[in-house]
Amino acid sequence: MLARSATRLLSRPKHIFRFRGCLFAKHVSTASADDRNILSLFDIPRPSLRLPATGLFGHPQLSSSDDFISLADATLIRARLLTNRVLNARSSRDELLRVVKNLDRLSDMLCSVIDLAELIRNAHPDRHWVDAANNAYEKLCEFMNVLNTHVGLYEVLKAVLSDPSLVKSLGPEEYQTALIFWRDFEKSAIDLPPEQRQKFVSLSSEILTLGREFLENASSPRPPALIQPEHLVGIKDNGMGMRLQLQARFTKRELLVYPGSLQAQMIMRSAPDEEPRKRLYIASNSSAEKDISTLEELLRARAELARLVGRRSFAHMTLDDKMAKTPENVVNFLDALRRHTQPSAESALRALSARKQAHHALSSLPTIQAWDRDFYCPPEPPSPPVPLPPLTLGTVFMGLSRLFKHLYGITLRPTDAQSGEVWHTDVQKLEVIDEDKGLIGWIYADLFARYGKASGAAHYTVRCSRRTDFDDERADGTEEGHEELIKRSLDFENSKRHKLPNQDGVYQLPLVVLLCEFARPSLSKGPTVLEWHEVTTLFHEMGHAMHSMIGRTEYQNVSGTRCATDFVELPSILMEHFLNSRTVLSLFDLEGTHALSQINHIPEDPCNSIDTYSQILLALLDQVYHSPSVLDNPSFSTTHELADLHNTKGLIPHVAGTSFQTQFGHLFGYGATYYSYLFDRAIASRVWKEVFKKNPLSRELGEKYKQEVLKWGGAKDPWEMVAALLNAPELERGDAEAMREVGRWRIEDEVGLPGRH
């Protein structure tokens, strides 16, 4: 799943079988029928169409929640049959030659249902479907966990990789896929004696349980702060501020203000008195002892798991298949980036200190405290000389389609969904059309907020690219009494296969879902007009979607976004940079683009560098929390490490009595890899500057990016891709110096136009 938060990271379950400035140049173009269709698709409420009924995503086998449970049961039966086939592969050289393909097929078989279940759990409004999805998810994940530590499967793969003649027969992509399985088997204690493997399974279950508890604690409400009436004097006189002041004045009692509430946000931004901001900051960053204990138990369990498989720390175990390779290299990158960012962050901090000095009429520059940041920074951005034309949702999608046509020869074509094909009437279906290959995939856009739907923005890969014409399911065998179930599952598989023009082979076409929470259009209010940060969000998620569409590989384990965690955000962050270009913005709105040409340069928010520096510290903290000291230091304390890091390398002092780490939810999903977003921001900034900035609509450059990066998914070393794209062969080694070099690159704000906060 692609979740978007303040620091956007890609989530991918960790299993062997993977769910695995230039002058404005006006662009003149004629609105095509597809452009007009996109505009109407998203900007006008559409009545339901009476099309032939089908099941979810066009699968007749998924017409009801009971069908989904049946599909999960059938998938489990077929997965057992295929597992047995792989286990018996050493009886035939032909079967050994098929081992990697069959392992990838087994992975895809399970993931196609598990990933669909994950979407349904987060988006479907029908409780019966959600319950069915939970049932399927738990059932298939349990079987997947068995496969992850299956000695027999490991031994068969070992037989393949130990035979030079078999290895020589593997293509580059197939060999890379084999190595992914091999490395992940090794991380699962596969070589250890049975009792130690059992300990590994036990620790893995404990980590999962502690992780869920940690995430629940991280999102749970914090206790309120007590705010005295006199502390609210001078607060900005808006409606909410006036109500708070009146409440305090007439009750003559302390107010209880809950962290995260609208009242708390207003006080942090506009209360001239420092005391209420201080109280709210401390309340917001407080932790119960049990919450700290849960996090520290989680970190110890991870450390023990790593030691069990012979690694010094959880970070060492996690990073060896990432671009960074080692914790030391991560620190090399972060320290270089910190030194590079520190001067601008300190300059911004001095500007805040000067504002605080003037505000309190002090004789010297005061220290900026953690609760001062929102009050003194940022200042109100200057208004552009003319207003931006309204960017409706349909307008932005039209611009995206035009941009993709310029860069890749790809357009987005709206199409009507059949009855039962989507889970809500809000969901709209887009075909992704390549000018040479025709239809190459689908995007289902579920973009409007509604009750019960997961919050935030996300990119779900429901189906990956995979070549299928070499599949031979009949050789998997059957299971007596379950023939009808198996047939239903095979029909489900066959419906996903397509022959593309001008391309060899039959492929499973990618299918992705975008979830956002924009305001719904209405007949009274008109189309959805996006805030600038929402436009940025949409560009980000569509960057992931294009990676999924163009990453056309024969193996699903290396398809599209199934690549290294510290590489996967590059395409999505790079897409945000295109919003810096007036040329790209001219694709949005043919009637209003003249206004864009009159916009002067808008100064960058001075606090961006402070925020970047804060993210660097969090990434360093993540490394400390997953270092050998978790077990080696008997007095290891997450609160002490947090305070020490802020007081030795931070710009703003740590606040005694606070323990933010229990709200650092990314520690669970991205343990030891939180640096990834910063790392990809640095690379994306460089790619934008060196490749696209001068000519962002160049088909030649778009094709180079497509051929050097996007089409490979995870089938090629990311360092080789970046080195080729930037014409920087010295990066190919991906060593400590390469990490330092990326750290020295300037991280530029992805978008410098109005509303980027």
Question: What DSSP letter does each residue of 202-224 carry, written as one string?
Answer: HHHHHHHHHHHHHHHHHHSPPPP
Q: How far is CA 256 from the centre of its chain?
A: 36
Q: What share of the chain is helix, strand, coil (3-state, %, to 5)?
A: 55, 10, 35
According to DSSP, the residues that pair with 419 across neighbouring strands are 53
Helical axes 608-625 vs 638-649, angle rounded to 10°: 140
First-to-final CA distance of the chain: 24
Q: How many CB atoms lie within 10 A of CB 468?
A: 18
DSSP class of 685: H
541 is catalytic: yes
Residue 660 phi/psi, 5-degree rounding, is -60, -25
Residue 61 near residue 55, CB atoms below 8 Å: yes
How many helices and strands, by DSSP H and E, does the chain display?
A: 30, 12
Phi, psi of 362 (to 5 degrees): -90, 160
- Residues β-bridged to residue 497: 508
Q: Interhelix angle for 262-270 vs 239-251, to 10°?
A: 100
Two tokens, residue 662: 């229990």
Contact 459, 571 (CB under 8 A): no
CA pair distance 305, 195, nearest whole angstrom: 14
Instruction: Find the Cα–Cα–Cα–Cα dihedral 134, 137, 142, 145, rounded to 10°.
Output: -140
CA distance readout (Å), 14 to 119, 144, 146, 349, 671: 17, 11, 14, 39, 11
Cα of 108 vs its chain's centroid, Å: 20
As to burial, measured by CB atoms within 10 angstroms (0-12 exposed, 13-18 middle, 19+ buried), residue 627 is buried
Q: Which residues contact 76 (CB under 8 A, 6 or more apart)?
A: 139, 140, 143
The residue annotated as part of the active site, out of 118, 541, 741, 750, is: 541
Residue 434 phi/psi, 5-degree rounding, is: -95, 135
From residue 673, alpha-carbon distances to 275, 444, 564 in Å are: 36, 29, 10
C-alpha to C-alpha distances, 108 to 79, 101, 112, 559, nearest whole angstrom = 10, 10, 6, 11
What is the rounded CA–CA span in Å between residue 390 and residue 370?
Answer: 36
The beta strand positions in 68-211, using DSSP E, are none
Q: Which residues are known catalytic residues?
A: 541
